[in-house]
Amino acid sequence: MVKDGGRILMVEDNPDHADLTIRALRRHNLQNEIDVVGDGADALDYLFGRDRYEGRRPEELPVLVLLDLKLPKVDGLEVLQALRGDPRTRVLPVVVLTSSNEERDIVASYHGGANSYIRKPVDFHEFTEAVGKLGLYWLLLNEPPPGVPEP
Amino acid sequence: MGDGGDGDLFHSAVVQAPVGMLVAGADGACELVNERWCELTGLPAAQSLGDGWRRAIHPADAAELADRWRSLLETGDPFEQRHRLCRPDGVVRWVRARARPLLDEEGRVHGYAGAFADITELNEREAELQVSEARLRGAMDTALDAFVTIDADGFVAEWNPQAEVVFGWSADEARGRRVDQLVMPERYRADHRAGLRRYLETGGTKYLARRIELEAMRRDGSEFPVELSVTPVETGGPVIFSAFIRDISERKRAERELRELTRDLERRVAERTTELRATVEELEAFSYSVSHDLRAPLHSIAGFAEALREDYGEGLDERAHDYLGRVRSATRRMGQLIDDLLALSQISRKPLERSTVDLSGLAGQVAAELREADPRRDVEIAVQGGLRAEADDALVRVVLENLLGNAWKFTSHQATARIQFEAADGGAFVVRDDGVGFDPAYADKLFGPFQRLHRQGEFEGTGVGLATVQRVVRRHAGEVWAESEPGEGAAFYFRLGPGPGAHS
């Protein structure tokens, strides 16, 4: 069992996909707390401690953001832009996790400052593998930027 | 004829006169001609004496002159007559002849004198002038343009028939009237008069000697566009101005229509472009939606089926596991379908970038990839060297991947196989295999999306591959076709336009 680390913020409007991703992480023994928000506006409120998330201290950033692209209200690329435009979240690790493999989405994500881009494979085994690897890499192997809490 | 001093003077005057002269006695018989007469008539003096001089008269004029001469002798009335002289060598000259009686101191007729002035050149010039005038008149009368001349004060002098048609005033009505009041809208008249004055004072005006376009006025007051050129004519006397005026209403109307048509066309092109852009955007939105939204539920189905198997698998019997396996393979297949469909739509959207493509090299790469993916197969792949085409590199690779991939797939049920890629007739290329082939009755169905000629269990595939090939080839303005018999292998041909792309 891996020790509890920092939180993960998952921005995902499909509850099925959120559950399946959480399940995949747990199957790889990653026990980090996971907060799920259903759209881009909520994601920004969460990270900057606004509105519904007033009182959440912005300096307590998650160790990792899993970001879907196609989201209600504020889409994933706009969230990315807002995060990279704010000094508090400029270096926060963001992994785009999406079902799109459109080249323009991949290009736009990297240009927007995504740390990684992973397409959800339809095959569940592959998906579990992919999520496991990304969790292991970002939560255990990767040295986070200073200011982001140790996982 | 008298003698003495006067007679000598007269004689010498006759001899030296610059016109031809003959002098006759009271009986009318010629007694003396001068040198000039001899030049004019070609008759020596001796032959002119008596009635000899009459031979010099042109036969056509002889009778009339004889009448006048007789009348002179009978009544003493002088006469003047234009007639011709004809020399023995045939040269004809026009002369003005004057004849009158010679009177002595008592007033009695004692002889006659005739003077012949050569007016040949004068006559010729006059005739030329008449011809030229007639020609000019004809030209003016039949001119397609209105032709008008005015004097220095702006009064109409000439008005040709076309001017009558164009302006509605007859020549008789127009002549002698002020041209500005006849044909110019009120607003131009002051300018016109000032222009005339300026020309007379300084010899220059902005309208002269070039074509200008302005509005003219008909008799009924209606205005119409004309093209006008004005030339001052100075002949020594007072200046006159001549003007050609062309009614250009038709031309203006045609120009306006053309402008309107052009504007209309531009507007329609803009509209169509906007519509087309909207369609393309819709298509892109659709593709994006397919990519994301169709895949999302599939992800849930596959994911929870797997979760079910993992978490509750121990409690399920063999049949339940079989069902879950089928869910899994069906979702995998649907995922593949979505991917292929997207690839097909991406091929339509991608801009075509032609360059010289090494088809042989490309086919070799694809063959190597096929072997790598399935190294156990015993397949001979023969690629003809040096095949090239002007094509989009990435798209033509898709064609070869599909055609060689199909050949690889449909030979998979046999121990050994042979696949060829080579040039065919007419600049086409062909991929042949010795696999299962297909029934030519269904050849037209081969290239439709999701069309399959084999059952799912026999060969894997979504039926999008050949549709993709056809779309790529069509985007290259080319064609694709196939030949086969069941069990006899298949041959897939493609030709890329424009022009043959193959060089051996």
Model pLDDT for residues A69-78, shown as the tens digit of each residue: 888 888 899 9
Chain B partners within 8 Å of A132 (Cβ): none
B161-208 pLDDT, tens digit per residue, is: 999 999 999 999 999 999 999 999 999 898 888 888 888 887 665 556
The C-alpha torsion from B451 through B457 and B460 to B466, rounded to 10°, is -20
pLDDT of B205 = 56
Average pLDDT for B450-458: 70
To the nearest whole Å, the CA of A42 is away from the closest chain B CA by 21
Mean pLDDT of chain B: 86
Average pLDDT taken over every residue of chain A? 84
Tokens coding B242: 């001549």
- Looking at per-residue pLDDT, the higher value among B279 and B357 belongs to B357
d(CA B294, CA A14) in angstroms, rounded, equals 13
Minimum mean pLDDT range among B140-149, B177-186, B250-259: B140-149
Query: What is the average per-residue pLDDT within B110-125?
Result: 88
Distance from CA of A122 to the nearest CA of B (A): 5
Residues from chain B contacting residue A70 (CB–CB below 8 Å): 292-293
CB spacing of A23 vs B307 below 8 angstroms: yes
Residue B4: predicted pLDDT: 45
> Is A94 a residue whose pLDDT tops 60?
yes
Task: List the 289-328 stretch of B: residues with Cβ below 8 A of A.
Answer: 291-293, 295-296, 298-300, 302-307, 328
pLDDT at B263 over 90: yes
CA distances from A98 to A71, B285, B289, B293 (A): 10, 17, 13, 11
Please give the pLDDT value at position B109: 87
Query: Rounded to two decimals, what is the model's pTM?
Result: 0.50
**Identity of the residue in A101, A102, A122 whose CB atom sits nearest the CB atom of B302:** A122
ipTM metric:
0.77
Distances (CA, A) of B314 to A27, A129, B318, B323: 17, 22, 10, 15
The pLDDT value recorded for residue B494 is: 94
Question: What pLDDT is recorded for position B504?
Answer: 39
Distance CA A89, CA A60 (A): 11
Of A17, A123, A124, the CB nearest to B296: A17
Question: Above pLDDT 70, what percent of chain B?
Answer: 95
More confident residue, A67 or A120: A67
Per-residue model confidence (pLDDT) at position B216: 93
Q: Is the pLDDT of residue B439 over 70?
A: yes
- Residue B503 has what pLDDT? 42
For every residue of A46-107, DSSP letters joined together read HHHT-GGGTTS-TTS--SEEEE-SS-SSS-HHHHHHHHHTSTTTTT--EEEEES---HHHHH
Instruction: Check residues A125 and B366 and name the one with the higher pLDDT.
Output: B366
pLDDT for the residue numbered A1: 39
Query: What is the per-residue pLDDT for A36?
Result: 94
Whether residue B115 has pLDDT greater than 70: yes
Of the pLDDT bands very low, low, confident and very high (cuts 50, 70, 90), residue B500 is: very low
Q: What is the dihedral of CA A23, A24, A28, A34, to 10 degrees?
A: -60
